[in-house]
Structure 1
Amino acid sequence: MLLYKLWRSFIKEILLLKRDIGGIVIIFVMPLLLIVTITLIQDSTFKNLEGSKIPIIFIDNDKSEVSKNIKSELESSKTFQLLTNFNEKSAQDAVFSGDYQMAIIIPENLTKDLNSNIDSKVQTIVSSFGLESDSAAVKKTVPKTKEIHLYFDPATNAGFKNSVMNSVNKMVFEIENKKIYKAFQDQLGTEENLEENKNLISFKEITPKKGEMDVMPNSVQHNVPAWTLFAIFFIVVPLSINLVKEKSQGTNVRARISPTPYFIHILGKTFTYLIICIIQFSLMVAVGIYLFPYMDLPAFDVSGKMFQLLTVTLFAGLAAIGFGVLLGTVADTQEQSAPFGATSVVVLAAIGGIWVPVFLMPEFMQTVAKFSPMNWGLNAYYDIILRNSGIGGIAKELIFLFLFYLATVSVSIFYERKQNAV
């Protein structure tokens, strides 16, 4: 008998959704547009701007060894297109007005002064060991600091700015080291080839492997789970609106006086919207697998992970449904439920790391993120897709999502009973 009542409740929810075309569009079409748009925009970031060059202004007032080395390094990076037909004043105006991202100004006599400073330092060090040739006193000179001027567009991303400054510092540091090493060779009279002097310490990134192939993270692996989760939680809007409609149209009154327990109506909504979550997930995965390769994007790889991903989807769906039921139960009008539901989902997405990685947030917000159901779901998806975890590895996140569902539904039932108590 209970199964029949549950089935009738399920049919009722399907009929409500069929009458709400706008809600169907929000649930299915909007997430697909988001995932395609955001992934296309972010793909160049994950490819490190491969295939495109940023035009920057490069002014060489030195025109000697050091400036030529810096210019050669910038050109070989395949990231920048160097523009040289500027002077410092016109470069400053062009960058500060937003025409170009940045300008690099190499000062006059950079190579000459650098060589002079290095020779002076090396002679001082060598003389301190009593190895100087002749008895001539070593003339101590105060090093002249040379400044390479960097101009950035005020609207330039701070991460890009720091990356460029670190790259320029690294280039100058390597040039200085080579020159110091060469100066010591000249002073000590050694014949060792400078080119054979390689770094004793280097960096090598160790990446996860699939068979013999390295697995490199890409924009698709990040965006498909993130925006799938966003789509799942956006069912809060139509779900809460339908609950408010039931109150305004008197449907909930008929439900209360019927012999069917209230939790059966909640279960009917749960099963209905869980099916919607599965459909959403399937559409997003299908876009990642079949559409993205035609858009010159990496295909979304779910081989051997589909069961785990579906499990996360079900538990994330439960959390979203519980939140929607709570909102629809507490709200009195559609004007309350719709904007609050949409805004709260956006806030949860921001807190949960959908838009900004959690590790980039302030410490306080990182603590808050740990209590976001979107963050639990996103971590579970990432553990499966990027860290190759199984169900055991995401058990904690699944438990949190299920407890969130139980808590929100329990509060909703308690609130509904209290409101309608005689």
Structure 2
Amino acid sequence: MKKPSALTVKLIFIGIIVILLLIGNTMIKSKLEDREYAYNTALRSISESAGGKFKSEGPVIVIPYEQTVYTKLPNGEEKKEVNRLHKFISPESLSYKANLETEKRTVGIYSAPVFSGDLSVKAEFEIEEFSSQKYKLDEAFLLFSISDRSLQNKPVFKINGKSHEVYLTSVTGFSGIASDIKLEKGKISFESDIKIRGALSFSTGVDATDTSLSVTSDWVSPGFTGYDLLPDRHEITEKGFHAEWSIPFADKNAGHSIGFDFIDPVNVYKKLDRAVTYGFLFIIVPFIVLFLFEAFARINLHPLQYLLSGAACVLFFLLLLAMSEHISFGLSYILASLAAGLSTSSYIASISKKKRFGFVMSGVFIVLYAYLYLSLKSEDYALLIGSLFAFIVVTLLMFFTRNGILFHHGEDGISEEEQPVQSDHSDC
């Protein structure tokens, strides 16, 4: 049985090392998931303490009434059952105006934005004439749906210009603050100024035929997607943002919502997750370069040296994760890339006894880390950048091996040997 060549054995060892390093990269990704879970747990804790996600609906006018249902029993008798129900009257026009200020709250090393501010609500109702025999008009009330945890004061409702005290109540589908109201046919106006608080997001319902919302905040990274309607106008500056929604004709029973999320621009975990996804490149590409060094420069590297070089590349991601939780992502990236790139390049220069190999490896790492950073900054073009990079790597590998390389293992290790093809016949 033919004994496997030294090249085959080395390739097998390198393949095993690659698999081990990929397993290590997977373990780093698992650690990243653990840290992200801890971050999200801290985020929820801060959010719940600050009132949670802010959401309001209404206001609506609620009129109780009773409905009698007769059910025929098997013995022929009729069972009478009286159900208490509610009729909801939505406003014809509704406008919100919010002015919000934010601050960072921390739990351990994690922080999240919370907000507080003023919410001004104005609405107009068109009331038709109701039968006092069916509806309990003397029990009608005006309800604004909002969580009591979102309130920083006990607001006052102004109904037709008169101030009314409020109380907490709930009916089917709604809960919030309410005030008794005397129903009269015609227009009813409502307004209130409410001091609110919350975290993570701010949203209101589109509960009128004509609804508008105006928001001013000092937060610089609002997220408007994820809601039924985008703002008609918005302006984002380094001091905050202003956004306006106008829905002049809408189905007030459709359950639409408008608002925004407080996006945390320093949340590095999504960037880190995408970075670790490219970890295999930081193993494969340096190994290809090292193998080409062996092929062309007649040096012999031990598999352990491949392992240590690859381990330094993989630990780059662990360093990036650890440092980015305490300092900015950009600075963390620079420090981690310098640590991994310089240590590996100097190691290669030392074991090969040739400084130029260290410089070549440094150039490879500059290209790798620049590519990764560009991919992280350009999420929409990550696939295009990655495809071009992979194509360039394969093309360069084809170029360097274009003459056909024959390897043999001798006393001096792996070396290159090119043999010309000789004919068996002489020219006649």
Same fold (TM over 0.5): no
* Higher helix residue share: 1
Larger RCO: 1 or 2 (CA < 8 Å, sep 6+): 1
Instruction: Name the larger-Rg structure.
Output: 2
User: TM-score by structure 1 length?
Assistant: 0.32
The structure that is strand-richer by fraction is 2
